[in-house]
Structure 1
Amino acid sequence: MSVNYAAGLSPYANKGVCGLPEVFDSPEEVRAKVETLAQLIKESQYMVVHSGAGISTSVGIPDFRGPKGVWTLEEKGELPHFDTTFEDARPSLTHMALLGLQRAGYVKYLISQNVDGLHVRSGFPRDILSELHGNMFVEQCEKCGRQYVREKVIGVMGLKPTGRYCDVVRSRGLRACRGKLISTILDWEDSLPVRDLNKADEASRRADLALTLGTSLQIKPSGDLPLLTKRNGGKVVIVNLQPTKHDKHAHICIHSYVDEVMKQLMELLGLDIPKWEGPTVCESSTPTSEHSNDVKPGHDDAILFFIFIVC
């Protein structure tokens, strides 16, 4: 989702359809559709959200295939405009609204194609989040599976070693693991992380409502996961400015800015949008007390949190 990220990927020819014209519903159409969405959410027993690059454009991170997207401009021989760095980027209204929906019990699982780390930095629980393409702030021990969430971007991609080693000690008196830490960011031909993909697949099959936000749904297998919900009798709602390959399968397609849709949705559900108070990492969606699993770094902390991943 950034120019730096795109530049670090290997050359690849098939980047999907880029630069499709944006479509805007009228304000009245948007309101009516969001009202329908709010009712679907109230009736849902298990809603899964699928997020793409379009939820981060409002905070200065360009998307890929929009009119000013990274790949769109690349096809024209132009460079995209990038308003912020990954470290300085703040979660958008949509990121924080999703956290509010999760805390209210509406969002059961979140599947993201984004690598900007904003879901994690917003405080969304990592145990109900699949980051299918990796996270610029996360490195993982290739030996024991521990993941470290850093304050700064890792700096390497393609599952390559970062130059650091795992310092986790499983039991007192034993030596640290010392396994090599590797980037979690995928390159084009890398396989998706098994754990994240399996959990995303399971959640998509279980869901009775799939809400897709800011994604053209072009990249497989991520983009096809909402169809698993549809095939099992659930409904799919797509919020995107450009047409997507799965519009024909959607119960509703809302063509509007994602932040505007989420703002109206939260109002209709009677929910406040949480205020962002700096990078916060939450391991578990079931804390023993309110937000007790949230971890905020001090100014000198290199690690926000680490979590054991069973691969």
Structure 2
Amino acid sequence: MSANYAKGLSDYENKGVCGLQEIFESPEEVESKVELLSKWLTQSKCVVVYCGAGISTSAGIPDFRGPNGIWTQEKKGVKEDPEAKALSLTDCSPTVTHMALISLLKSKAIKFIVSQNIDGLFLRANIRRRHIAELHGNFFLDECTQCHSRFIRSTPSPTMACKVSDQKCMRWSRPCRGLICDTILDWDQDLPKNELKWADKYSRECDLAICLGTTLQIEPAGSLPFRCQRLNSGRVVIVNLQPTKSDTKADLVIHDFVDNVMTLLCKTLDVKIEAYDPSTDPTKTRVTTEWRR
């Protein structure tokens, strides 16, 4: 599905640096850094987590700029379709990282998540809407063009680029006259105002920004974590296998699988990671209902 998503985007040359070599730090070094991260986390008042495609690769969803990423392969001229090896979004389940973040939200260790991912795995992990801003859309959410209510889907949207359908708004109380569209952005489309508003609010309040599985190349998402340094003398932590252009600005960089780092972090904080439960997955139990903040 991420391959289909990439194909569905309009032509755009500036896709950033792709295919950088991955770095794996020693288990001892990773453990030491996670200990420091856990100390900072417990000292912080407002922890915001910024997520990219790297948190979903263990679910079977290809990333874009990794060594075998969709755009990396495209730049190499590789014709093999990554979709052939990828699971459909309907068949994917939230990863250890998704579930760890849900558990950390419930324990109030972190306050908010800003995601660039369109795969719907946070929704399927039953995150509350008030805890997340999805800047680039969600294949499992539609939106009304008039009242901007969002509605849960059971299957990924067949369209992209906020294409308007002929389906009327499904809001139960005081229905409006709006039409339903998908929420997936194309390159030249503005970020959704409501999502950006919440991402901006928490980025301004943040005193510890944790960046997971993102190369921080797409703006404005790539700059949001660093507001905490400027506004609140906060810290920025980057967890990513590849180096990023922002590593020199970060207070801590960890090169390891995000699932491993989140497992170690939750263990250090004595937070039990919940398992994904399909019976609480809104895409299976609350289809066409409004997803309220």
- Corresponding residue for residue 123 of structure 1: 126
- Corresponding residue for residue 35 of structure 2: 35
Q: Please give the alpha-carbon distance, in whole angstroms, between the structure 2 residues aligned to 1:243 and 1:57.
A: 17
CA RMSD of aligned residues (A): 1.6
Please give the TM-score of this superposition, normalised by the length of structure 2: 0.94
Q: Is the 1:46–1:206 contact (alpha carbons within 8 Å) kept by the matching residues of 2?
A: yes
- Corresponding residue for residue 273 of structure 2: 273
Please give the TM-score of this superposition, normalised by the length of structure 1: 0.89
Q: Please give the alpha-carbon distance, in whole angstroms, between the structure 1 residues aligned to 2:52 and 2:18.
A: 15
Q: Report whether the alignment pairs 1:188 with 2:187.
A: yes
Query: Any unmatched runs of 5+ in structure 2?
Result: none
| Offset from partner CA, 1:30-83 (integer Å, 9 cap, x none) | 000000011111111100000000000011000000000010001112232542
SS of the residue 2:35 aligns to? helix
Specify the code of the residue in structure 1 equivalent to 2:222.
Answer: G
Q: Please give the alpha-carbon distance, in whole angstroms, between the structure 2 residues aligned to 1:296 and 1:259.
A: 24
Judging changes above 3 Å, is the alpha-carbon distance between structure 1 residues 189 and 280 closer, same or farther for their aligned structure 2 residues? farther
- Corresponding residue for residue 102 of structure 2: 99
Q: Report whether the alignment pairs 1:77 with 2:99.
A: no
Q: Is the 1:145–1:308 contact (alpha carbons within 8 Å) kept by the matching residues of 2?
A: no
Specify the code of the residue in structure 1 equivalent to 2:143.
Answer: Q
After TM superposition, give the deviation of residue 168 of structure 1 in Å.
2.2
Greater helix fraction, Structure 1 or Structure 2:
2
Identity %: 46
Q: Please give the alpha-carbon distance, in whole angstroms, between the structure 2 residues aligned to 1:162 and 1:243.
A: 41
Q: Report whether the alignment pairs 1:240 with 2:243.
A: no
Specify the code of the residue in structure 2 equivalent to 1:30.
Answer: V
- Corresponding residue for residue 306 of structure 1: 290
Map 1:2-17; keep pairs closer than 5 Å: 2-17=2-17
Q: Is the 2:154–2:283 contact (alpha carbons within 8 Å) kept by the matching residues of 1?
A: no
After the TM superposition, which segments of 4 or more aligned residues of structure 1 sit over 3 Å from their partners? 295-298
Q: Is the 1:41–1:209 contact (alpha carbons within 8 Å) kept by the matching residues of 2?
A: yes
| Offset from partner CA, 1:16-39 (integer Å, 9 cap, x none) | 000011111111110000000111
Q: Please give the alpha-carbon distance, in whole angstroms, between the structure 2 residues aligned to 1:169 and 1:126.
A: 18
Specify the code of the residue in structure 2 equivalent to 1:244.
Answer: T
SS of the residue 1:210 aligns to? strand
Q: Is the 1:19–1:69 contact (alpha carbons within 8 Å) kept by the matching residues of 2?
A: yes
Q: Please give the alpha-carbon distance, in whole angstroms, between the structure 1 residues aligned to 2:18 and 2:256.
A: 18
SS of the residue 1:222 aligns to? coil
Specify the code of the residue in structure 2 equivalent to 1:29.
Answer: E
Q: Is the 2:119–2:138 contact (alpha carbons within 8 Å) kept by the matching residues of 1?
A: yes
SS of the residue 1:181 aligns to? strand
Q: Is the 1:165–1:181 contact (alpha carbons within 8 Å) kept by the matching residues of 2?
A: yes
Query: Any unmatched runs of 5+ in structure 1?
Result: 282-294
Map 1:1-311; keep pairs closer than 5 Å: 2-78=2-78, 79-80=81-82, 82-171=85-174, 176-232=175-231, 233-278=233-278, 280=280, 297-298=284-285, 302-303=287-288, 305-307=289-291
Specify the code of the residue in structure 1 equivalent to 2:168.
Answer: Y
| Offset from partner CA, 1:159-198 (integer Å, 9 cap, x none) | 1113422132434xxxx42411111100000000111112
